Amino acid sequence: MFISNSMTRKVITVKPDDSIFKAQELMAENKIRHLPVIESGNRLVGVVTDRDIRSALPYNFFKTAPSEEEKKNYSELKIKDIMTKDPITISPAYTIQDALLLIQDARVGALPVLNEDGTLTGIISVRDLLRAFINVLGIGQPGTLLCILVEEKVGQLKKIVDAITEENISFGSVLVARYWEKDKRAVFPYLLTLNVAHIKEKLTRMGFTLLNPMEWYLDQLPKNE
Amino acid sequence: MKKTGFLYDDRYQEHLTGNYHPEVPDRLPAVYKGIQEAGLLEHLTLIKAVPADIKWVETVHDPQYIKRFAKACNSGNPIFDSPDNQMCTATYQVALLAVGGVLEATRLVMEGELDNAFCAVRPPGHHAEVSQAMGFCYFNNVAIAARYIQQQWDIQRVGIVDFDVHHGNGTQHIFERDPTVFYYSIHQHPTFAYPGTGREFETGKDAGHGYTKNSPMLPGHGDKEYQQILQRDLVPAFAEFKPQVILVSSGFDAHIEDNMSDIKLTTEGFTWIIKLIVELAAEHAQGRLISVLEGGYSIRRLPELARNHIKILMDA
């Protein structure tokens, strides 16, 4: 779960002296919203976003295609004039969890990834994190979600995992969530199988309560007000 | 009363799935029992299975996949592609009989010898992908029937309705780029149920965009919600598409007593659904409808579910 595994390595970049129209074209062509700005030696000096460009140009540039003459008036505008200098960056050795927290905290859409020597090695965007999260949940693979109510004491999860493993069923993921009743937790194993009837019976025989996941969800609603 | 065919063959019970598996041979005698005890057999045209010609299987499945399946089966492999797909040495032949039986029922309906038909087959088919067995399914019976119809008769538009509680990923993927086959599925929401596909925003790709429709249902939903959603989604979709023949993936596992899902359809709920589909077939497809068994694992409820299903087809 390291940044180096989830980041985009083929980074599209611009130079500080490039025109902002170049950045605009690159973003449109590649369907991206963040461009690291680099100097010689792959050194990061800033980040320019689609929002920076929108703020720098008059509104009618986005409403109708501007004429060449209108464009000319802004052709002197360079990336270095509108970019964010000294952007927040992250190291490839950091984890996905770090990136999630940092992106939420900094309210940005992407982080340039820098090597120890300060050179740019990649970029990690909200889109990359979504892909990583889908992977963590295991929902790219066919499976079934169970919801098991357990008492909050040591060893409960082990019992569940052991019981499922004994049936030769693989896990996509296991999530644990709060339950409205004190001292209880809801466990959500995502099992990579269609054959869940037998394991449901077995868990019930072991004394666990199986909930329909919607019951858990509806019970959470008043608590979330 | 309509001329209704009933495909039933003892050989479908030769596909064995091992311990703790819900897709058991006993499902078919349960179906038969319900129909027999209601005295319906004498009014039905019984259809026997014939092995499918491989050329029809190849209209959907990759020839390499078919060979791989045959080889795995003949060498005594107890599972194929996933631990879900438990099998025995007869499975490959039985799967060919399932396809062949469905094609025979299809032929009889298309040639006008029957008005419609119900095919009680095993193994089921709607999870089977072009090159992969999934979710107890090896050959996609319904998908192969759709291609067979299009290649043998002058048919431009085939409609498929899938009311198994699990989304028919295989059928959807096979036709998602094809505007001549409309795939409609109603199933438990993929966040909660296998196979994790069949979300509302999956609507077909490229030329097939708009010819796939999914109605995911939340756990706990039942008759009332199914009726509302089928009226909202299926009825207008078929009014526009106007299928010339309807294939039905009939799974009975959304029943409240079936422990494979959290959907709560009653026996009457299923009757309402097949009635609606029969009406759509009468309106758009000269009544031509071939219903093919997919899931449904409650041995206790299968007799009444199959009986009611076939009674609606017979208009009895």
HEC string for B89-104: CCHHHHHHHHHHHHHH
State mean pLDDT over B149-154: 97
pLDDT-based confidence at residue B76 (cuts at 50, 70, 90): very high
Q: Give the mean pLDDT of B168-180.
A: 98
Residue B162's pLDDT is what? 98
Question: What distance in Å separates residue B311's CA from the closest CA in chain A?
Answer: 29
Interface test with A, best of B21, B84, B86 (most A CBs within 10 A): B84
| 3 state DSSP class of A38 | strand
Do residues A102 and A24 lie in contact, with contact meaning Cβ atoms separated by under 8 Å? no
Residues of B in contact with A200 (CB under 8 A): 259
Enumerate residue ranges in chain A where pLDDT < 50. 224-225
> What backbone torsions phi and psi does residue B77 show, to the nearest 5 degrees?
-65, 130
By C-alpha distance, which of A29, A21, A28, A145 is closest to A81? A21
Q: Are A36 and A124 in contact (CB under 8 A)?
A: no
Distance from B191 to chain A by nearest Cα, in Å? 7
Asked if pLDDT for residue B34 goes beyond 90, the answer is yes
| Other Cβ atoms closer than 10 A to B248 | 28
Phi then psi for residue B40, to 5 deg, are -90, -20
The whole-number average pLDDT for the span B227-252 is 98
Q: What are phi and psi of B17, to 5 degrees?
A: -115, 5
Average pLDDT (B140-152) is 98
pLDDT for res A137: 87
**Residues of B carrying an active site annotation:** 127
Q: Whole-angstrom Cα distance, residue B308 to residue B305?
A: 5
Q: What is residue A6's predicted lDDT score, i.e. its pLDDT? A: 93
Nearest CA in chain A to B264: A212
Can you give the pLDDT at residue A220? 62
Q: How far apart are CA B281 and CA B220, in angstroms?
A: 29
Q: What is the 3-state secondary structure (H, E, C) of chain B?
A: CCCEEEECCHHHHHCCCCCCCCCCCCHHHHHHHHHHHCCCHHHCEEECCCCCCHHHHCCCCCHHHHHHHHHHHHCCCCEECEEEEECCCCHHHHHHHHHHHHHHHHHHHHCCCCCEEEECCCCCCCCCECCECECCECCCHHHHHHHHHHHHCCCCCEEEEECCCCCCHHHHHHHCCCCCEEEEEEEECCCCCCCCCCCCCCCCCHHHCCCEEEEEECCCCEHHHHHHHHHHHHHHHHHHHCCCEEEEEECCCCECCCCCCCCEECHHHHHHHHHHHHHHHHHHCCCCEEEEECCCCCCCCHHHHHHHHHHHHHCC
Give ipTM to 2 decimals: 0.79
Helix or strand or coil: residue A176?
strand
Interchain contact, B218 vs A214, CB within 8 Å? yes
> Which pairing describes strands A144-145 and A120-125: parallel, antiparallel, or unpaired?
unpaired
Cβ neighbours of B262 in A, within 8 Å: 212-214
Name A64's Cβ contacts closer than 8 Å, sequence gap at least 6: none
Contact status, residue B129 vs residue B15, Cβ threshold 8 Å: no
The pLDDT, as a whole number, for residue B82 is: 94
For residue A225, the model assigns a pLDDT of 42
Q: Report the distance separating Cα A139 and Cα B276, nearest Å.
A: 33
Higher pLDDT, A153 or B3: B3
Q: Closest Cα to residue A15, out of A32, A33, A39, A50?
A: A39
The residue with tokens 């007869």 is: B90
Measured distance CA(B152)–CA(B103) in Å, rounded: 11
- Amino acid B184: pLDDT: 98
The two three-digit tokens of residue B29, written as one number = 């005698």
> Cβ B83–A197 below 8 Å, yes or no?
no
- Residue A121 in 3-state DSSP? strand
- Please, what sign has the CA dihedral across residues B241, B242, B244, B249? positive
The pLDDT assigned to A15 comes to: 97
The reported pTM is 0.87
A201 and B21 in contact by Cβ < 8 A?
no
Q: Is residue B4 within 8 Å of B42, Cβ to Cβ?
A: no
Q: Is the peptide bond before B195 cis (omega within 30 degrees of 0)?
A: yes
Segment B269-291 mean pLDDT? 98
Q: What is the pLDDT of residue A223?
A: 52
Q: Are A198 and A167 in contact (CB under 8 A)?
A: yes
| Cβ-proximal residues to A128 (8 Å cutoff; 6+ apart), any chain | A6, A7, A8
Q: What angle do CA A160, A162, A167 make, to 5 degrees?
A: 100
Amino acid sitting at position B233: D
Question: What gap in Å lies between CA B289 and CA B281, rounded to an integer?
Answer: 6
Which element (helix H / strand E) includes A159? helix A156-166
Asked whether residue B193 carries a pLDDT value surpassing 80, the answer given is yes
Would you call A195 and B21 a contact, using CB atoms and an 8 Å cutoff?
Answer: yes
pLDDT at B242 exceeding the cut of 70 = yes
Query: Between A and B, how many CB-CB pairs are < 8 A?
Result: 68
**What is the structure's pLDDT at B78?**
96
Angle between helices B141-152 and B91-110 (to 10 degrees): 40
Range B120-144 average pLDDT: 98
- Calculate mean pLDDT across residues B78-83: 95
Q: Could you tell me the two tokens for B195?
A: 């196979």
Identity of the residue in A196, A201, A214 whose CB atom sits nearest the CB atom of B220: A214
Nearest chain A residue (CA) to B19: A198
Whole-angstrom distance, CA of residue A205 vs CA of residue A168: 18
User: Residue A201 is which amino acid?
Assistant: E
Q: Which of residues 20-49 of A touch B (CB under 8 A)?
A: none
* DSSP assignment letter at A56: H
